[in-house]
Structure 1
């Protein structure tokens, strides 16, 4: 399905008929299909909205890429579809967007689950940041450039989040563990979860592994 939100066309899929609504937001240069297996499991107990971020999947390509604009798209989607008190489950870029949405509009949400979020590009391990720089040099993809320039979130501003937050990362994540810990420590009603043996994406992409960690959180 497609919806026009101000000047931005967003593609999304709605699955499930009952339960608390959940919005899923994917990572950089991906689309909502990375959540297909999670949606299959989660939609038994939730109404799930899996969206393509602007410039990804089948959503329209913007003139420029900024996490704040992606957060606006999510807020506009909630308003346009009258989604009542959803949870947001965001992965990587989607986790950054979830933080920004909750900072701006906690009143609209029941809670957030942020998987592999960073506050600034310095939150990446140095080796992974070097790889991102190499990728941008090779592709000149503006979505990759966004990861090198944004986000720029002051941890103190996370205190604006007033809904429960589950802050998740893999034990072998490309995000520094101290960054994940900082995010969790800066949100009043938060829980930190470091998943043993997992990388940045191994518990997310094309699997429903995440659901066993969040099913009680999203009731």
Structure 2
């Protein structure tokens, strides 16, 4: 299905039944990264799985910004009439989720952020070097995005009112101190670092993240 937001077409799929949950994928991915997780969740939630602008089947754009992607998701929630959905964002999707929750706090019910960073310096140095090299060899607006953005301050994170769970893998490409700083800046946020997991191993084509977030979402 497609919906028009902010002058572009966003492709999305819907599955399941129950309260609304919005799943936001990472850089260079599309909604199919949640294929395994969706099967686990669809008996509990109505899942809305969009492709971000410039990704998947959604409209290509000449330049990507996290702020525009976040405003796309705000428009998506409003146009589909979603009532305070749970928002789960992974990697770039986690950045988008943070921006959505701090700029439009009234739209988010609960927030689960996996492997997000506040600035490019929140990535491990080796990861940044690898991205710069890849971008030199094969320039990409998606790699530019990771090297130049986001620019999220603690003051912005302090505006988040949704109950929040901050997740990361023990071997994540996000610096541990960056993950801890995000959790500290969000009022009342919980932090969970998953032993043995890397940046995407517990989310991409996996339902491990459900075991991590189930107590936060269900209270048991």
Q: Distance in 2 between matches of 1:72 and 1:120?
A: 19
Between the aligned partners of 2:134 and 2:9, the Cα distance in structure 1 is 27
Question: Does the alignment pair 1:34 with 2:52?
Answer: no
1:80-159 mapped onto 2 (5 Å cutoff)? 80-159=79-158
User: Matches of 2:208 and 2:47 in 1, distance apart?
Assistant: 16
| RMSD, matched Cα | 0.8
Q: Which residue of 2 aligns with 1:13?
A: 13
Residue aligning to 1:4: 4
Matched residues in 2 for 1:199 and 1:17: separation? 30
Q: Deviation at 1:216?
A: 3.1
For 1:48-63, what aligned pairs fall within 5 Å after superposition? 48-63=47-62
Please state whether the residue corresponding to 1:215 is helix, strand or coil.
helix
Alpha-carbon separation, structure 2, partners of 1:43 and 1:106: 25
C-alpha distance in 2, partners of 1:214/1:8?
32
Tell me the distance in 2 between the aligned counterparts of 1:62 and 1:144: 14
Deviation (angstroms), 1:155? 1.7
Aligned length: 218
The runs of at least 4 consecutive aligned structure 1 residues that moved more than 4 Å come to none
- Asked if 1:171 is matched to 2:170, the reply is yes
Q: Secondary structure of 1:197's partner?
A: coil
Separation in structure 2 between the aligned mates of residue 216 and residue 2 of structure 1, nearest angstrom? 33
Q: Residue deviations 1:140-170, cap 9 Å, x none?
A: 1111101100001112221100111100000
Q: Deviations over 1:65-109 (max 9, x none)?
A: 000000011000000000011011000000000000000111111
CA distance in 1, matches of 2:6, 2:118: 27
Q: Which piece of structure 1 moves more, 155-164 or 30-39?
A: 155-164
Distance 1:157 1:109 in 2: 15
Q: Secondary structure at the match of 1:216?
A: helix
CA distance in 1: counterparts of 2:217 and 2:79, whole angstroms: 22
TM-score between the two structures when normalised by the length of structure 1: 0.98
Structure 2: how far apart are the matches of 1:44 and 1:104? 31
Q: Is there any run of 5+ residues in structure 2 with no aligned partner, and where? A: none
Cα distance, 1:217 vs structure 2: 2.4
Alpha-carbon shift at residue 63 of structure 1 (Å): 2.1
Aligned position for 1:46? 45
Structure 1: gaps spanning 5 or more residues: none
